[in-house]
């Protein structure tokens, strides 16, 4: 027997200007990030996602390349029931693949905020 009811979607919480930042990306990039985020909501691991190291556990980065540009969305997925979108940005690193220091600091600050918000989430 098959269960035709999909698992419930995990809610998404947007921190800072992360939602507006994604809305400013090209439509194709918005769609790709949205699709990846929806897979994560269902508990899947999308192909364009990797661990984002150096901030905390359960931090994922959705990485999309489009038209010679790199776009990123960084999420906290292990704090509570919600998925917290910490930061979204167009990567313009002048030193190869390294994420710029200001973006890392923003992610660290919003991760702290997300941990506080998660403490008050009810199951």
CB 81 within 8 A of CB 11: yes
Q: In which residue are the tokens 């699709």 written? A: 35
pLDDT confidence of residue 109: 95
Residues 90-106 have pLDDT tens digits of 987 555 667 878 889 99
> How wide is the angle at C-alpha 86 spanned by C-alphas 32 and 57, nearest 5°?
100
Residues 7-60 have pLDDT tens digits of 778 999 999 999 999 999 999 999 999 999 999 998 888 887 888 888 888 899
CATH fourth-level superfamily of 12-118 = RelE-like (3.30.2310.20)
Band (3; pLDDT cuts 50, 70, 90): low
Residues 58-86 have pLDDT tens digits of 899 999 999 989 999 999 998 888 999 99
> 3-class DSSP state for residue 83?
strand
The domain locations on the chain are 12-118
pLDDT confidence of residue 100: 79
Q: How far is CA 4 from CA 1, 7, 37, in A?
A: 9, 9, 22
């Amino acid at each position: 027997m098959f269960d035709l009811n999909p698992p419930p979607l995990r809610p998404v919480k947007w921190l800072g200007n992360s939602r507006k930042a994604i809305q400013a990306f090209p439509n194709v990039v918005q769609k790709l990030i949205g699709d990846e985020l929806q897979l994560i909501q269902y508990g899947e691991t999308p192909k364009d996602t990797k661990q984002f190291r150096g901030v905390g556990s359960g931090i994922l980065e959705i990485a999309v390349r489009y038209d010679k540009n790199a776009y990123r969305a960084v999420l906290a997925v292990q704090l509570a029931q919600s998925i917290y979108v910490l930061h979204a940005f167009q990567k313009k690193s002048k030193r190869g693949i390294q994420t710029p220091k200001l973006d890392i600091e923003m992610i660290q600050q919003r991760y702290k905020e997300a941990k506080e918000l998660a403490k008050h989430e009810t199951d």
